[in-house]
């Protein structure tokens, strides 16, 4: 019986040990399986993080490219409406990515491909815009060169114009001077001026001084010499008689104003003479209502704005 008890005891120990070994084996299996599963999860999470980071980097890169394109297109004068629309869409995708718990690399890969295709197409448009602006720049440079050339030509023309203007002024002055000389040369002259006192009975006295009581009229006679430059037409001859004080003696208060040497002066009488250009003799009769005061009187003759002769006589 002792032997039997010993044998039973050994069997129980063997079974217990076997059970423990089995439990340990099961625990080891479960531990190894759990560890392998944890490693797979870690690998998957690492892959997701890498894909997320790569996606975010690509989106940031595309955002930078869009900013550069928008700036360049604005400088070139093109439309940035479509670029700004895509930029707003990209910023929306970047915000969604940060809070996307169901992140799918494949989904964002497709979005990134669409953005890249848009950038490629836009680059063609941008190249065309650069070419057009290059042509415009060349044209602007050409126009600027033409402008400079025209300015130089205008300076030359301006100088020529100034020279011509000075020449015209000089010519005008010479012409005016010549005209004045011709006018002076063609002016009438009164020579051999005689002042005669005519009494009321018609008797003429030629020897000055005259008695005031014997002067009914004054007769001023003179000769208009021949002048080849003078025009044969009616000439208005103006007679001025000035008393000793320089006052104009008028005919019964009737006189007038004539213009000469840029000034207006009074005259005693006017007479129209048909000028014949043949040394003709002219006589002008002047009557004054009031008696002459004693003194020396001056006689001046004017025609066509010039003084053509003068003389003097005395009254006692």
56-111 pLDDT tens trace: 888 889 889 989 989 988 888 888 898 889 989 888 888 887 777 667 777 888 88
CB 271 within 8 A of CB 235: no
Counting residues of the chain whose pLDDT is more than 70, the rounded percentage is 78
172 or 258: whose pLDDT is higher?
Answer: 258
Model confidence band, residue 49 (pLDDT cutoffs 50, 70, 90): confident
CB 303 within 8 A of CB 233: no
104-134 pLDDT tens trace: 777 888 888 888 898 888 888 888 888 888 8
CB 218 within 8 A of CB 193: no
Model confidence band, residue 182 (pLDDT cutoffs 50, 70, 90): very low
CB 169 within 8 A of CB 194: no
Cβ-based neighbours of 66, under 8 Å, separated by 6 or more? 83, 86, 87, 90, 119
> What does the pLDDT read at residue 8?
62
CB 226 within 8 A of CB 280: no
Write down the mean pLDDT value for the chain.
Answer: 82
225-281 pLDDT tens trace: 999 888 899 999 999 999 999 999 987 655 677 777 778 888 999 999 999 999 999
Model confidence band, residue 28 (pLDDT cutoffs 50, 70, 90): low
pTM score above 0.75 = no
What phi, psi does 187 have (nearest 5°)?
-65, 150
């Amino acid at each position: 019986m002792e032997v039997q008890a010993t044998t039973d005891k050994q069997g129980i120990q063997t079974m217990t040990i076997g059970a423990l070994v089995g439990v340990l084996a099961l625990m080891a299996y479960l531990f190894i399986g759990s560890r392998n599963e944890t490693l797979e999860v870690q690998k998957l999470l690492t892959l997701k993080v890498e894909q997320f980071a790569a996606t975010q980097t690509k989106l940031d890169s595309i955002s930078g490219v869009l900013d550069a394109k928008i700036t360049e297109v604005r400088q070139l004068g093109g439309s940035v409406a479509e670029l700004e629309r895509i930029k707003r869409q990209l910023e929306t995708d970047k915000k969604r990515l940060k809070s996307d718990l169901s992140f799918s690399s494949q989904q964002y890969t497709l979005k990134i491909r669409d953005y890249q295709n848009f950038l490629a197409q836009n680059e063609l448009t941008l190249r065309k815009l650069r070419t057009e602006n290059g042509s415009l720049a060349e044209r602007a440079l050409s126009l600027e060169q033409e402008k400079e050339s025209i300015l130089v030509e205008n300076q030359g023309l301006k100088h020529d114009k100034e020279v011509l203007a000075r020449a015209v002024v000089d010519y005008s002055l010479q012409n005016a001077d010549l005209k004045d000389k011709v006018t002076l040369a063609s002016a009438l002259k009164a020579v051999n001026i005689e002042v005669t006192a005519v009494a009321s009975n018609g008797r003429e006295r030629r020897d000055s001084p005259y008695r005031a009581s014997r002067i009914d009229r004054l007769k001023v006679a003179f000769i208009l010499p021949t002048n080849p430059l003078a025009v044969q037409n009616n000439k208005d001859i103006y007679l001025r008689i000035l008393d000793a004080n320089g006052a104009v003696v008028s005919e019964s208060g009737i006189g007038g104003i004539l213009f000469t040497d840029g000034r207006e002066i009074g005259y005693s009488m006017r007479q129209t003479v048909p000028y014949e250009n043949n040394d003709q003799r002219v006589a002008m009769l002047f009557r004054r209502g009031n008696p002459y005061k004693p003194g020396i009187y001056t006689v001046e003759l004017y025609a066509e704005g010039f003084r053509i002769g003068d003389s003097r006589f005395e009254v006692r």
